[in-house]
Amino acid sequence: MNKLLPYLTFLFISISVLTNAQNSYLDSLKNELNKENLSSNKKFKLYNQLSEFNRTTDNYKQADFYINQQIKLAKKEENKLELVKAYTQRGIIYDNQQAYDKTQKSLDTIQNIVKDLPDFLPKVYHKFLIAYHQIALGDFESSTKTVQAFLSRLEETPNEFVLKSKSNYLLYAAHATWNDAKNATIYAEKSLKYAEESGDKNLLVSAYTTLAVAQSLIYSETENAKDLKLLIDTSKKAIEVRGKYPNQVSTYNYAVALLNMSNYYLNFTNLSAKIQEEIKQNCFEVIELCKTIPHTQNTVASALGILSNLAMKNNDYALAEQYLLNANETLLTQKPLSYYTLLSVAGDLATVYNRHGDYKKAFEFQKKATEYTDLLYNQTQAEATKKLEAEFQSKQKEAELNSLKAKANSLKKERILYIFLGVAGIIGAFFMFRSYHYKLRYSIGRENQLNAEKHEAAIQLKLQNEEQARMQAEQELMSLRQQKLQDEVLASQLHLEHKNNVLKNLKNKLGNETSVDIKRVIKEESLLDNDLEKTQFRIQELHPNFFKNLSDHTKQKLTPLDLKYCSYIYLGMDTKQIATILNVEPKSVRMTKYRLKQKFGLTKDDELNTFFHQIIS
């Protein structure tokens, strides 16, 4: 069974590359808002729908306009719930833009609004944004716990069907990421149920599309004909909603439904002539629809990618080549570039040209694929670092908040204790004048109370020490994560540098018109790839502190090139192998080994390989 192409779309929380399309759905909302004598509740509903539409289409400037209108009206009407909804929407926009520090400011603003409110719903929106933020940071486990803490009570609350649908969607997203097809389907079905009850047809299309993705996970496991029929029927329902309610469904949601339908047909069916024709019609319709929607290059490239895959299945490589070239040209007009999709298209083009026997072009696009891999790797690492920093700040903020809550509870207990002691003092003074016996009993009671007070103070001190220890442990864990990330980068560079050298040598040979056995080179590189992957695993997983231990035992600072030599020597490579990998003379390798011995304070007869294993073991 072929793997699904990377075109399936998550509609609520995905960071998509869209903008506002001038379509009947958006026009109907604007026309409704421009009517006179609208009630405040109706305006709030329209503001929510307009900001939601513009957010999901990445038209953040227009979304922020409607959010500001909603905030202004909510403050005028003193409607705390709508005020919280507006700031929640703004926080989601910040997460989509990876402005995680601004999301925290939105959370702080909402916290100040809801802290003294007795109402349940405003606090749920606050928790929903926390769960959304946790998913944006990749912390799916924490997000799941956050949603489950309020979902059962929310589902018992009348109305609020949109929030119920989105909350179940977050649970679906987490389980889909974990490839838990069963639970992903359960929560997708709940999300669909509340979307139907909301009456929001645009949300309904998204919910059907989401459920279809969950059902595709099930079919990928079972390959059962009944599961496939259920998947296809669900996908068709998403398309049918647009046909019944054209003015209530956005053009982009409809395009996504068509695209996913075509993808399921391509990957899961026997591709009869009728189905192939339907795939073509759907993809061409998607391309035509996107002409009215700016910044949808990824969507167009996805449709062209499906068409190229269909052509390759029919052995029409010339047509597949044309579709892929069009996709590549389309993606290059996007700002910023989508390296992931460009990498996929470049790899497919290299495959097509290789089958054509056009090795020069195959080499060119394979080289581009390598470049995109490097750029994607750097981008992924930068995003991961940014998320780790935001996660650390979020946990630090949470720890500070818990500390403040504990302090507030302590002060409250102290006030209660002081009141109690005052009352006890008055009563004791009264009875002191009546009887020495009562005075004695009061003294004993007073002593017991002071002992209890000391015991409570000791407990508080212990809790504070434990909290400080926990924070220190978290900081140490963060340092270990950063060290591991650095080790992973260095280990990956060994692989990438070798790849680049091989490509350079192959290019020189092709340029000199030297006869090159491409199949032999590919076979040798595949074997070496496996060795280098094992190398990375051994360095990263078995010896995560390898480079740190080297630095601790050297008398002089090691350069990045020194670290590469140390890695190859540690893995048992001889002088000739290292010279081949680094494309240098064996004499240069021997000189470097000699300098390394000096830096580590070793004698001429000492073996570097033996020394490295001794300091690592």
563 pLDDT tier (thresholds 50, 70, 90): confident
In the chain, what percentage of residues exceed pLDDT 90?
A: 38
Q: Is the pLDDT of residue 155 over 50?
A: yes
At 310 the pLDDT is 93
At 142 the pLDDT is 93
**Are 205 and 238 within 8 A, CB to CB?**
yes
Which is it for the CA torsion 147, 148, 152, 155, positive or negative? positive
Domain boundaries, the chain: 22-157, 164-269, 545-617
Q: Is the pLDDT of residue 456 over 60?
A: yes
pTM over 0.85: no
CA–CA separation, 266 vs 261, rounded Å? 9
More confident residue, 612 or 387: 612
pLDDT-wise least confident of 117-126, 409-418, 480-489:
480-489
Residue type present at position 159: N
36-64 pLDDT tens trace: 889 999 999 999 988 988 887 778 899 99
Backbone angles phi, psi at 537, to 5 degrees: -65, -45
Mean pLDDT across the chain, nearest whole number?
A: 81
503-554 pLDDT tens trace: 666 666 666 655 666 666 665 555 555 555 555 555 555 566 777 788 888 8
Asked if the peptide bond before residue 336 counts as cis, ω within 30 degrees of 0, the response is yes
Q: Is the pLDDT of residue 14 over 60?
A: no
605's tokens = 């007869």
In a 10 Å sphere around its CB, with 0-12 CB exposed, 13-18 middle and 19+ buried, how is residue 434 labelled? exposed
**Are 252 and 18 within 8 A, CB to CB?**
yes
- Rg of the chain, C-alpha, whole Å: 32
CA–CA separation, 201 vs 366, rounded Å? 44
DSSP assignment of 527-584: HHHHHHHHHHHIIIII-TTHHHHHHHH-SSPPPHHHHHHHHHHHTT--HHHHHHHHT-
Q: Does domain 22-157 have CATH number 3.30.930.10?
A: no
Q: Does domain 164-269 have CATH number 1.25.40.10?
A: yes
At 530 the pLDDT is 54
CATH fold match for the domains 22-157 and 545-617: no
CA–CA separation, 339 vs 372, rounded Å? 6
Q: Is the pLDDT of residue 96 over 90?
A: no
At 20 the pLDDT is 36
CA–CA separation, 248 vs 28, rounded Å? 8
369's tokens = 């694929």
361 contact partners, CB below 8 Å, separation of at least 6: 349, 353
CA–CA separation, 362 vs 373, rounded Å? 16
What fold is seen in the domain 545-617? Arc Repressor Mutant, subunit A (1.10.10)
In the chain, what percentage of residues exceed pLDDT 70?
A: 75
